[in-house]
Amino acid sequence: MSVSTCPSEPAPAAGFVDGLDPLDRDIVLATQGGLPLVPDPWSAVGKPLGLAGNEVRARMQRMIDSGVIRRIAAVPNHYRLGYVANGMTVWDVDDAHVERLGREVAGIPGVSHCYRRPRHLPEWPYNLFAMLHGRSQGEVEQQAEALRERLGDACRDHRILYSSRILKKTGLRLARSSGRPR
Amino acid sequence: MNVARAHRPEPAELDAADRRIVNRLQEGLPLVPSPYAAVAAELSLSEGELLYRLERLLEAGVLSRFGPMYHAERLGGGLTLAALEVPEDDFERVAEKVNAFPEVAHNYRREHRLNMWFVLATETPQRIAEVIEAIEAATGLAVFNMPKQEEFHVRLHLPV
């Protein structure tokens, strides 16, 4: 997923981040649709911004170092790669243990994303989410079984919610009209 | 009829070079002066062939994107996962209403009483609550907001 979602610390309040200046922001805007497929993509990104390729590269490296960019990579379409079973597994885990167990199950093969999220009682008792990907529902169920074993008695209940339709998938977009001076 | 299946892309036919590219580029592109040439050399391809195949993999929808993966909250934005319980006979109308919000980055149908699950990505954290309110007004349904409280792992890697 291109929305690589985020950590636990609260986000800054003003839509602006330490160390991310207007030129960094321009680079974000210029690359959120993708990196150019040309031999020197850094210069291609920099040219309309009046930046040399080396400067673009240095700024992107700083954004990687500060965690603003997770990495520069290909985002696969699960289905097109044969991963037709994509299960959002949700677990009702004892609050006293969810933090430790969340870290443990995050490393189990097949888990791409793992988060603690709030319950909505009575409709929704689940507080731990782990996305699993397999070539069949059987494979996902095996992965889920490995999670269930690891969670043990701290887990009261769980469900696997398979995605059955992609209704929309555009990924993250920063609005250009964000009020930052260019 | 399985409605779900009709909306799923079919698995693609990939040759050995495509597989190497898909596997290698999920790991990430190095920040070096000629990054595609560097990766092509690792994969025993020419730079031109790598670029050509990468473009084709994107056009064919095998890859949905290639580029920097930004961390929404560290960019100062807001992000949350939310769900709706949509009556079956109203599903298409509600999907259309929800998808019309530019802040909706992904939206999936899932088989549960809560049958519509979407990610909201907003320019500021404060905006999340406004968009949720607007979605509730547009759909007439209560939004279950499930922002992450802790992240344990984020790393999608699908070997082929």
Instruction: Kindly report, residue by residue over B26-40, the tens digit of the pLDDT.
Output: 999 999 999 999 999
Cβ atoms of A154 and A101 within 8 Å: the answer is yes
* Burial of A95 from C-beta contacts in 10 A (0-12 / 13-18 / 19+): exposed
Query: Is the CB of B9 inside 8 Å of chain A's CB atoms?
Result: yes
Predicted confidence at residue A14, as pLDDT, reads 38
Predicted confidence at residue A172, as pLDDT, reads 63
Return contacts of A137-142, CB within 8 angstroms, 24+ apart: A137/A85, A137/A87, A137/A162, A139/A85, A139/A110, A140/A85, A140/A86, A140/A87, A140/A110
Give the pLDDT mean for B140-152. Answer: 96
Query: Is the CB of A164 inside 8 Å of chain B's CB atoms?
Result: yes
Query: Is the CB of B72 inside 8 Å of chain A's CB atoms?
Result: yes
- pLDDT in single tens digits along all 182 residues of chain A: 333 333 333 333 334 455 578 999 999 999 988 999 999 999 999 999 999 999 999 999 999 999 899 899 999 988 899 998 989 999 999 999 999 999 999 988 889 999 999 999 999 999 999 999 999 999 999 999 999 999 999 999 999 999 888 898 876 666 554 444 33
Give the pLDDT mean for B71-94. Answer: 93
- Range from A166-170, B17-21, B67-71 carrying the lowest mean pLDDT: A166-170
Residue at A166: amino acid letter: I
Q: Inter-chain contact B112–A159, Cβ cutoff 8 Å?
A: yes
Predicted confidence at residue B75, as pLDDT, reads 83
Give the pLDDT mean for B55-59. Answer: 97
Give the pLDDT mean for B126-146. Answer: 97
Predicted confidence at residue A13, as pLDDT, reads 35
- Measure in Å the smallest separation between the Cα of B87 and chain A Cα atoms: 16
Cβ atoms of A129 and B147 within 8 Å: the answer is no
Q: Which candidate in A120, A160, A172 is best for mutational testing of the B interface (most B CBs within 10 A)?
A: A172
Predicted confidence at residue A174, as pLDDT, reads 61
Query: Is the CB of B22 inside 8 Å of chain A's CB atoms?
Result: yes
Q: For Cα atoms A40, A44, B60, give the angle at the middle one, nearest 5 degrees.
A: 80
Phi and psi torsions of A89, nearest 5°: -95, 135
pLDDT at residue B4 above 80? no
Give the pLDDT mean for B124-138. Answer: 96
Longest dimension (CA), chain A: 59
Predicted confidence at residue A121, as pLDDT, reads 95
For residue B6, what is the nearest residue in chain A, using CA coordinates? A165
ipTM higher than threshold 0.90: no
Q: What six digits make up the tokens of B115?
A: 């049958």
Q: Structure pTM? A: 0.80
Per the model's pLDDT, the better-predicted residue between B148 and B73 turns out to be B148
Distance CA A22, CA A66 (A): 16
- Measure in Å the smallest separation between the Cα of A75 and chain B Cα atoms: 5
Distance CA A24, CA A26 (A): 5
- Range from A156-165, B120-129, B148-157 carrying the lowest mean pLDDT: B148-157
Predicted confidence at residue B73, as pLDDT, reads 81
On the CB side of A123, CA atoms within 13 Å amount to: 13
Predicted confidence at residue A111, as pLDDT, reads 92
